[in-house]
Chain A
Amino acid sequence: MPLTADDARAIADAFHSAYEAIDRYLDDNWETISRSDYDTLNEAGKTLLRGSAAMRTEAVGLSIDQMADASAELQQVIGDAKESLARLETIGTVIRLAAGLVDLAKGILERNPGRIFNASREIVRTIADA
């Protein structure tokens, strides 16, 4: 079974806890143990820290892989957003083509609230469909 990011984190934590146990032992006993024993334990502690660091790197790599699908999905949304923005910038052209403003102008010329309302409703529809 392949290693997951959470597995790697659990191993990293376990290595680190083991290092902490050694560190506490050295704190409590450094005055009574020999220099050679101190160095052996200190070196063991560093080996555990290296193991923990390697597992952290592993966990980050696996997490990045696990984000791939979400990233692709988010990229798609960003693409959609950019299209929306581009559409927003051309709405004026769409409105011109749909002659919404012309109708509105006619409504105003005629001082006809009904026509003004209908023309503006058409503008909204044109924008919504753009």
Chain B
Amino acid sequence: MLQQKSILRIKVLSVLLACALSACTDLSAVREWSGTSLEATQFNEVVATYADTPERVAFYDKEKASFWETQSKERRAQAKALELQLSLVGDYMEALHVLSADGVTDYTEDVDQLTGSLKNTGLVPESTVGAAGNLATTLLNAATNAWRKGEVGRLIGEANAPLQKILAGELRSIVDEDFRGDLAIEAGFLDSYFKRLLRIGGGSETANAALNEWYVLRKQENARRIVAVDAYLRVLDKISEGHQKLYDNRNDLDAVQLVQDLFKLAKEIRKNVTELMKA
């Protein structure tokens, strides 16, 4: 009876201590959001589309092939730099994802040593050794969780300014203005080329119908690329918004409202990634 009471006391104490030490930390929302953001940054087809525009347009502007070749070279180098930039954001999200994950450390060995020593004393009944092992595991997890929460908060604090400069600043301008503007230029070349051929006449009715069909098809492809730019921009905006929320709540990372917002943003990012894949 006395032994049962002591086991119970140890168990109750372990739960109370664990909650006190870790403030019952739950970083699952941070983990979900950073994992989704990591996946989303890997859908960088819009960068490839931008780099390939000179090649696509050169077909409709054959007299200026060398101009488009120069543009193409320059853009390929830029695409590498942009992909590096996105992989940098991805690396950060990955670090945040890993650091906010439960069970990142395995204390089995440490706890086994503890319970082994207890057992070797021969003074403690088997059931109490088991309870002690559970207590040690709970405490180690609680202490690690508290430490993780502090580290995640510190990293978010340090990363927010440069991350926002990239996501909400330069990268956003590149995607929203330059990638979009670039596709408008491609559309212009399509219009110039196909309208001229259709207007100067000379072709048979069948040839003109086929030409018109190509024109429509190419314009549809161009429109789909614009849809991808829109979806990618929404992804960047949501990653930026999510990180700003994390930054604003970095001292209270399991606040109910933040958790709700992060799960919602993660869901929306997934939806945008699906749109990107369809475009």
Contact = CB atoms under 8 A, between A and B. Distances in A.
Interface of A: 5, 9, 12-13, 16, 19-20, 23, 26-27, 30, 35, 38-39, 42, 45-46, 49-50, 52-54, 56-57, 59-61, 63-64, 66-67, 69-71, 73-78, 80-82, 84-85, 88-89, 91-92, 95-96, 101-102, 104-105, 108-109, 111, 113, 116-117, 120, 123-124, 127-128, 130
A76 B128 CA distance: 47
Contacts of B274: none
Given A78-B91, A124-B143, A88 B181 contact: no
Contact of A66 (B17, B53, B170, B188): B170
B53 A53 contact: yes
Contacts of B143: 120, 123-124, 127
The interface residues of chain A, by DSSP majority, are classed as helix
A108 B135 contact: yes
A52 B54 CA distance: 12
Contact of A16 (B6, B173, B184, B196): B184
A108 B10 contact: yes
Contacts of A19: 188
B139 A104 contact: yes
Given A50-B67, A85-B99, A104-B136, A74 B178 contact: no
A91 B45 CA distance: 41
* Most chain A CB within a 10 A radius of its CB, from B6, B124, B185: B185
Interface of B: 6, 9-10, 13, 17, 21, 50, 53-54, 57, 61, 64, 67, 71, 74-75, 78, 81-82, 85, 88-89, 91-92, 95-96, 98-99, 104-105, 107, 109-110, 113-114, 117-118, 121, 123-124, 128, 132, 135-136, 139-140, 143-144, 146-148, 150-151, 155, 158-159, 161-163, 165-166, 169-171, 173-174, 177-178, 181-182, 184-185, 188-189, 191-192, 195-196, 199-200
A53 B166 contact: no
A52 B155 contact: no
The interface residues of chain B, by DSSP majority, are classed as helix
B165 A70 contact: yes
Given A74-B163, A95-B140, A113-B9, A120 B17 contact: yes
Contact of B189 (A46, A67, A73, A78): A46
* Most chain A CB within a 10 A radius of its CB, from B54, B74, B181: B181
A92 B110 contact: yes
14 contacts: A54-B71, A56-B182, A60-B78, A64-B81, A67-B85, A70-B166, A74-B163, A78-B91, A84-B151, A89-B104, A104-B114, A105-B118, A117-B13, A117-B17
A81 B92 contact: yes
A73 to B, nearest CB: 4
A67 B132 contact: no
A59 B121 CA distance: 73
A56 B166 CA distance: 18
Given A16-B185, A67-B85, A71-B85, 19 more contacts: A30-B199, A38-B200, A46-B64, A50-B61, A50-B64, A60-B178, A63-B174, A69-B165, A70-B166, A70-B170, A81-B99, A82-B95, A88-B99, A96-B113, A105-B117, A105-B132, A108-B10, A109-B118, A117-B13
B51 to A, nearest CB: 10
A45 B192 contact: yes
Contacts of B192: 23, 42, 45-46, 49
B146 A124 contact: yes
Contacts of B89: 74
